Amino acid sequence: MRKYKNQKEKKLAEIYCNGCGKKITIKNEMIQEGMFHGEILWGYFSNKDTEHHEFDLCEACYDRITADFVIPLTVKKEKELL
């Protein structure tokens, strides 16, 4: 869950993990730890037609949830982050 200093400019103030409620560390609007951000606008063929969903997960919650997948994640190692 994201809170903004200014809703129009989307200046990031705080982020909380939706899974456990932990506050994610932010410094000068830069996220200082591993986290996952998910966002989807559900389409006409779903049961959530036109609903926009958004959530954030800390790395521990991401690991816990993805560990329960029947088919494991696809993991590729990048040489560098851009």
Q: Which residues here bind Zn ion, judged by CB under 5 A?
A: 17, 19-20, 22, 58, 61
Angular region, 66: left φ>0, alpha ψ -120 to 50, beta rest: alpha
Q: How far is the CB of 53 from Zn ion (least distance, A)?
A: 17
Contact 38, 57 (CB under 8 A): yes
Q: How far is the CB of 69 from Zn ion (least distance, A)?
A: 17
DSSP structural state of residue 61: H
Q: In this complex, which beta carbon is closest to Zn ion, that of residue 34 or of residue 43?
A: 34
Q: How far is the CB of 60 from Zn ion (least distance, A)?
A: 5
Please name the residue that has the structure tokens 């591993």.
Answer: 34
